[in-house]
Structure 1
Amino acid sequence: MVVHKDPNCGCCNGWIRHLQQAGFKVTAKDETDMAAVKQRLGVPSSKQSCHTAEIGGYVVEGHVPAEHIKHLLAARPKARGLVLPGMPIGSPGMEAPDGRVDAYTVELLAGDGGTKPFAR
C-alpha cells in the first residue's frame, strides 16, 4: 500500500501504524500537493480526508479501518475504492484519550464518484 500524506500530519502516521499492525506493508509518500493526488485518483471533494492510499487497484481515502480494507480486497467489487470523509474521532489514527468513538460510515466509492455505505 502506498499512502500519500502531508509531511506534517501526525494522524496519518497513526493510521499507518494501525495498518502495519494489521499486516499491511506500507510505503508513505510525503506530498506537497495532496489536492492533485486526490484529483488524480478521483476522490470527490465532499469525501476527502487528510490522506489518500492506493492498494490493489483501489483508492482508500481517510481513516478507514484495516478490516474494511481487507474486506474490499477479498470481495473485489467493481468500484474506485473506499472513503471515510473527515476525521471521525475514534477511527484508526484519530483515537481519543478518553476512548470516545463517534459513529461513522465507511463508503464504497463508485467509478462515477457516487458512494453507498460499505461498513458502519
Structure 2
Amino acid sequence: MNGRKTLAGLLTALLLGGPGLAAAADVLVYKSPTCGCCGAWVEHMRANGFNVVTRNVEDLAPLKQRLGVSPQVASCHTAVVDGYVVEGHVPADVVEKLLSERPAVTGIAAPGMPVGSPGMEVPGQPARPYTVVSFDDQGRVREYARR
C-alpha cells in the first residue's frame, strides 16, 4: 500500500468517525443546515448509487482549510469520498471517474456554484458549460473534466 492510499484511508476513517461508519458510507458531505442546493446535490449522488451521510456544519471554513480546499476551488459544500475531497456540485459520473482513475490529487471541485450542475439546475434555463478541476496539496489546480 502506498503512502497516498494509507493517508486517504486514514483521512476517511477519521472524518467519518471511525471504522464502523467508514465502511457504511461512500460519501460524507459537510454542508450548511439551511442550504437547499447542497441537499439537491446529496439527492443527485444518492440517485446515482452513492450511499451518502451528511453532517450539518455552521462554519465550513476551518474544515475546508484542513482538507486543503483553497478559496480558488471552494464552493458551498465539501465531501469526502474514499479519501478524496469533492468540493461543490461535481457530477456523480465525474466522482466515479475520480475513483476509477485514482489520480495523485487531494480532490476535485466545481468551483463556485455553476448553473446547471447537479443541485444548481434552474427551471427553464439551459445548463452553462463549466469545468471540474483537480487540486493537490501543492496548490496546483488543473482541468479534470468539462460539462
* TM-score normalised by length of structure 2: 0.80
Secondary structure of 1:89's aligned partner = coil
Q: Which residue of 2 aligns with 1:22?
A: 48
Report the Cα offset of residue 116 of structure 1: 0.5
- Name stretches of at least 5 consecutive residues in structure 2 with no aligned partner: 1-26
| Structure 2: distance between partners of 1:91 and 1:43 | 19
What does 1:80-119 align with in structure 2 at a 5 Å threshold?
Answer: 80-119=106-145
Paired with 1:113 and 1:4, the residues of 2 have a C-alpha distance of 22
Which amino acid letter does the alignment assign opposite residue 101 of structure 1? A
Q: Equivalents in 1 of 2:91, 2:145: separation in Å?
A: 10
Pick one of 27, 32, 35 that aligns with 1:6.
32
Higher helix proportion (structure 1 or 2): 2
1:111 Cα deviation from its structure 2 partner: 2.3
Which has more radius of gyration? 2
SS at match of 1:45: coil
2:98 maps to which of 72, 75, 80: 72
Matched-pair identity in %: 47
Unpaired segments of 5 or more residues in structure 1? none
Contact kept in structure 2, 1:47 and 1:85, CA below 8 Å: yes
Q: Which amino acid aligns with 1:53?
A: A
Task: Tell me the equivalent position of 1:32.
Answer: 58
TM, length-normalised to structure 1: 0.97
Pairwise CA distance, 1:32: 1.5
Higher relative contact order (CA 8 A, sep 6+): 1
Aligned positions, number = 120
Distance, in Å, in 2 between the alignment partners of 1:32 and 1:116 is: 30
Find the aligned partners of 2:139 and 2:79 in 1 and give their Cα distance.
Answer: 17
Greater than 6 Å deviation, 4+ residue runs: none
RMSD: 0.7
Shift of 1:40: 0.9
Deviation of 1:85 after TM superposition, in Å, equals 0.5
